[in-house]
Amino acid sequence: MSDWFTLRWADGAVELLDQRRLPAEETYLTLHNVEDVARAIEDLAVRGAPAIGCAAALGVALAAAGSPADKPEGVRIDCLAAIERLARTRPTAVNLFWALGRMREVLEHACGAEGADADAVRAELVQQACALVDEDVAICRALGAAGVELVPDGARILTHCNAGALATAGWGTALGVVRSAVAAGRRVEVLADETRPFLQGARLTAWELARDDIPVTVITDNMAGHLIARGEVDLVLVGADRIARNGDVANKIGTYTVALLAREHAVPFYVAAPLSTIDLETPDGAAIPIEERGPAEVTHIGGQLVMPEGVPVRHPAFDVTPAALVSAIVTERGIARAPYASSLQVLFDTA
C-alpha cells in the first residue's frame, strides 16, 4: 500500500494531492464545492485523463451533497449546472465527458425513481462517484495485468508525460503496466521524458516510480532520439487522453515525436488506456479537440521567466499520433492491434 493517494471523497469534501507542488511538497487540497474542483482541474492540481474524470464525478457529488434543495428537481438543477461547469474545464481528455455522462445518467435515474426524495438523490450521487473512483483503480490493475506480456525481462521502457497512479485514482495506465510487470517479476528500467512545459515526467513520473523503488532515469525531451538511435530503448509505453475510432491517439504534446522516432528505429510504441479513453464517436485524430493553454507554463520554469518578456509563445497541450505508428493499445479488456476500427469495437462488444 502506498502512503499517498491521488484523490478521494472524505467527510463530505474532495481531497486531492496538489500535483503542481510535487515533488517539492506533498500537500493535499480539501475542496468543498464544484468551483473548487473545476479550478483544480483547470490549474492542473489534478491532471491525467482518468483522474480528471474521477475528480469531475466527485465534483458532481459535491454539488449534490451541497444542494440546499428539498425536492429532487432542485438537486437535479444544481447537479446539471455543476456538470455544465465541469465540462468547460479541459477539452481533450474524453474521460471527463465520459464520467460526467455517467453521473448525469445516475442523476436522471435517481430523480425519476418511484418516491424519490432529495436526500436519496444526494446519497446516490455520492455513492456512485465513489464507486467510479474505486472502479478506476480496478480497471488500471486489469489493464496493467493485460499489458505484462508486452514487457520482456530487462526491458528499458521510455515513457512520456505521467500516465501513472497520479494520473488515475491509483496504479496508473502506462505506469500501471510497468507496476504489473514488476509485480510479475520482470526487471525493468524506465526512462522518463521530462515533458516540457509542465514537466509531468520529471516531477511526477520520477516521483511516483522512485516512491515505489522502480528504477527511473529522467531525460530532457530532446535526448530521446539519441538514446533510441543508440539502441538504449526496448519499447515505448505511453498513456492517452483520447483515442479516436480509427486508433489515432491524442496524448501529451511531444508524444507524436517519440512515436516517429520509435518507428524509424523499429522500437514498439504501445499505448495503455482504459475503454473510457476510447471515443468511438470521434472518427479520427483530426476531430479531437486539442487544448491550447496559456503562455505562462511555457515562458516560466519554476516561477522563473526563461525567455525575453513579450515574445509570443505557442502552447498546444496535446498532439495526435496516427494509428499507423501505434504497435498496440492495451486496455482492461485486452490488447488491440491494427486495424483498430475493428479491434477497438471488438473490445467494447466483449461483455
Assess contact for 74 and 67: CB atoms under 8 A. yes
Count of residues in the chain: 351
Q: Does 278 bind ligand MRU (CB under 6 A)?
A: no
Q: Which residues pair with 250 in a beta bridge?
A: 242, 320
CA 123 – CA 187 distance, rounded (Å):
45
Q: Which of 16, 45, 161, 178 binds ligand MRU (CB under 6 A)?
A: 161
Is cis: bond before 197, omega within 30 of 0?
A: yes
Assess 206 for contact with ligand MRU (CB under 6 A).
Answer: no
Known catalytic residue at 241: yes
Please give the single-letter amino acid code of residue 75.
V
The site that binds ligand MRU (CB under 6 A) totals a number of residues, namely 17
C-alpha 84 chain-centroid distance: 20
Q: Which of 168, 246, 299, 321 binds ligand MRU (CB under 6 A)?
A: 168
Query: Among residue numbers 66 through 125, which ones bind ligand MRU (CB under 6 A)?
Result: 93
Q: Residue 72 or residue 254: which is nearer to ligand MRU going by CB? A: 254
The three three-digit cell numbers of residue 155, written as one number: 526491458
- What does DSSP assign to residue 189? E
Q: To which residue does cell 495485468 refer?
A: 145
53 near ligand MRU, rule: CB under 6 A: no
Q: Which stretch binds ligand MRU (CB under 6 A): 103-111, 163-171, 217-225, 259-267?
A: 163-171
Which residue, among 211, 244, 223, has the nearest Cα to 2 in the 3D structure? Answer: 211
Q: Which stretch binds ligand MRU (CB under 6 A): 144-152, 161-169, 183-191, 258-266?
A: 161-169
269's grid cell = 510504441
Smallest gap, in angstroms, from Cβ of residue 351 to ligand MRU? 24
Does 320 engage in binding with ligand MRU (CB under 6 A)? no
Rounded-to-integer distance, Cα 127 and Cα 291, Å? 31
Q: Which of 36, 78, 193, 241 is catalytic?
A: 241
Residues at the site binding ligand MRU, with contacts judged by CB under 6 A: 47-50, 93, 161, 163, 167-168, 173, 200, 239-241, 251-252, 317
Catalytic residues: 241
